[in-house]
Amino acid sequence: MQHPTNPLVQPRSSDDFKYRVILIFDMNSFFASVELLARPELVGKPVIIGQLRRRRVVCTATPEARAFGVKKGMATLEAAALCRKHRPDTVWLPVRKLAYEEESDEILKVLKSEMQAMQFDPAIETVGLDEAYLDLTPYCQGSTAAESLDYAIPIAKRLKTAILNQRKLHCKIGVASNKMMAKIATDQNSPNGINIIYDHDLATILPPLDVNEIPGVGEITEEKLKLVGYRTIADIQKAPKNYDFAKVVGNSLGSKLSDLAFGIDPRPVEPDGPPQSFSRIETFEYDTKDLDKIVPVLMVFARELEARLNKFKYEATIVKVNYRHGSENYSDEKPHSRSKKYPDQFTEWGVIIAHALNLFHSNKIGERPLYSLGISVEGFVSADVPKQIKLF
């Protein structure tokens, strides 16, 4: 299929075009897929990524583990019970966030390289480590909305093939006229992992879906909607026109919930800016103020943060310690942070841990048992910028 627009023409704003074309790629079981690349002997076996201890959840699992009920976000102790019942041979692997971040960086490089090769410069918005939206609107204008979406198919195939060839990883791709429907498209079955939802199919696809398919509807909001009788998108579509959803889910989501239920989602693809911070956080199995448990965790974090700074060629000027004290009632304790800006830029893990421990002790953070503890580095300066020489 020949592309309808001239890619050499500087793209205008997506608002200047009649038909929106949004693509999202979603890496399949990303953390698990990265681990299987490193340990191919585990391919075909049930594998769970997560720490098998209290206060931990499953980060991801292979299809073989999902087949007997394990799912992302499930408490690892609950998942372990399912493993004992169905597959005692399930392999548990620890979370290696730095490895996933680095692989995510490489995938994004592939995407940008392919776009550059096609002489496209779309807005790209990453979501976490394993998803990204691309606004292909300026490059996919046909005579109809459906034809415009079809023009994205060869682009999707090229991206999917490039990621597979260069990174040995599979992904799902969804294409639609807005972000919500593109995301829903990734969950539709398709033989090649690429699925399009056309506007004329919304009346068939949307009604049976659970309300949690609507962006902004998480577990808590879903429960609030269910308590007042709204379990599926069809239920919301059937609500009286003057029904005030803001009373149920708040003003921000309530004002647009009805539109979203009918597939109307004007949210733009927001181009990523440079990272503003890198962070790590640990939730302890049991509340603790034992420095023999706390300091080793912070040291691991400091080394990983040094790696991220070096990867992006940044130097930091701010260290922040993020923490939450333990309580019999978790909801009673709010997250807190203490930070300090330093005159000298730094990347070394030894400097990061020294600054973090200084904040930890000077603010008496460890006087009460901690539920969670983490470090952030911020206030970035490019490492290519010469450091200012102090004359006095």
Cα dihedral 137, 143, 144, 148 in deg (nearest 10): -30
For residues 6-33, average pLDDT: 78
Q: What is the mean pLDDT of residues 307-330?
A: 91
Q: What is the dihedral of CA 253, 258, 261, 265, to 10 degrees?
A: -70
Q: Is residue 182 part of a domain?
A: yes
User: How far from each other are the two terminal CA atoms of the chain, in whole angstroms?
Assistant: 67
Residues 302 and 346 in one domain: yes
What value does the mean pLDDT take over residues 237-263? 93
What Å distances lie between residue 172 and 28, 169, 210, 247, CA to CA? 7, 10, 21, 36
- Per-residue confidence (pLDDT) for residue 117, from 0 to 100: 96
Give 384's pLDDT tier (boundaries 50, 70, 90): confident
Half-sphere exposure of 384 (CA within 13 A, CB side): 3
Q: Which of 51, 47, 49, 57 is nearest to 78 (CA)?
A: 57
pLDDT bin (cut points 50, 70, 90) of residue 241 is confident
- Are 86 and 107 within one domain? no
Given pLDDT bands bounded at 50, 70 and 90, which one contains residue 328? low
Q: Answer yes or no: is 62 within a domain.
A: yes
Do 21 and 116 sit in the same domain of this protein?
Answer: yes
CA dist 78 and 56 (Å) reads 10
Looking at the domain assignment, is residue 12 inside a domain?
Answer: no
The answer on 295 and 168 residing in a single domain is no
Question: What is the total count of domains within the chain?
Answer: 4
Rounded to whole angstroms, the Cα distance separating 252 from 221 reads 12
Tokens of 117: 């090769």
Q: How far is CA 15 from CA 40, 121, 146, in A?
A: 46, 16, 18
Residues 223, 364, single domain; the answer is no
Secondary structure class of 149 (helix, strand, coil): helix
Query: Residue 22 sits in a domain of what CATH number?
Result: 3.30.70.270
Whether pLDDT at 332 is above 60: no
Residue-level pLDDT at 387: 62
Which of 184, 199, 214 is at the close of a domain?
199
Average pLDDT of the chain to the nearest whole number: 92
pTM, 2 dp: 0.86
269 in a structural domain: no
Bridge partners for 91 per DSSP: 47
pLDDT at 340 over 60: yes
3-state secondary structure at position 49: strand
Looking at the fold, whether 80 and 165 belong to one and the same domain comes out as no
- Phi, psi of 227, rounded to the nearest 5 degrees: -65, -25
Mean pLDDT of 346-372: 96
Residue 254 included in any domain: yes
Secondary structure (DSSP) of 270-323: -------EEEEEEEEEEEE--HHHHHHHHHHHHHHHHHHHHHHTEEEEEEEEEE
CB 142 within 8 A of CB 136: no
Q: Do 72 and 22 fall into the same domain?
A: no
The residues annotated with a catalytic role in the active site are 131
Kindly indicate the confidence band of residue 16, based on its pLDDT and cuts at 50, 70 and 90. Answer: confident
Domain of residue 287 covers 277-382
The CATH number given to whatever domain includes residue 252 is: 1.10.150.20
Last residue of a domain, one of 153, 183, 199: 199
Let me know whether 163 and 105 are in one domain. Answer: yes
Residue 2 has pLDDT above 50, yes or no: no
Pairing mode of beta strands 91-93, 277-288 = unpaired
Instruction: Please name the residue ranges forming H helices in the chain.
Output: 30-38, 63-66, 76-86, 97-117, 145-150, 153-167, 179-186, 202-205, 219-227, 233-237, 246-249, 251-254, 257-261, 291-312, 349-362
Query: 10 Å Cβ neighbour count for 265?
Result: 20
pLDDT digits (tens, 9 = 90+) for 143-186: 999 999 999 999 999 999 999 999 999 999 999 999 999 999 99
- Give the residue among 129, 134, 37, 44 at the shortest CA–CA distance from 90: 44
327 within some domain: yes
Largest CA distance in the chain: 73
pLDDT of residue 122 exceeding 60: yes
22 and 152 housed in the same domain: yes
Question: pLDDT digits over 202-215, tens only?
Answer: 999 999 999 999 99
Burial of 61 from C-beta contacts in 10 A (0-12 / 13-18 / 19+): buried
Predicted local distance difference test score (pLDDT) of residue 314: 96
Between CA 300 and CA 312 the distance in angstroms is: 19
Q: What mean pLDDT comes out for the span 221-247?
A: 94
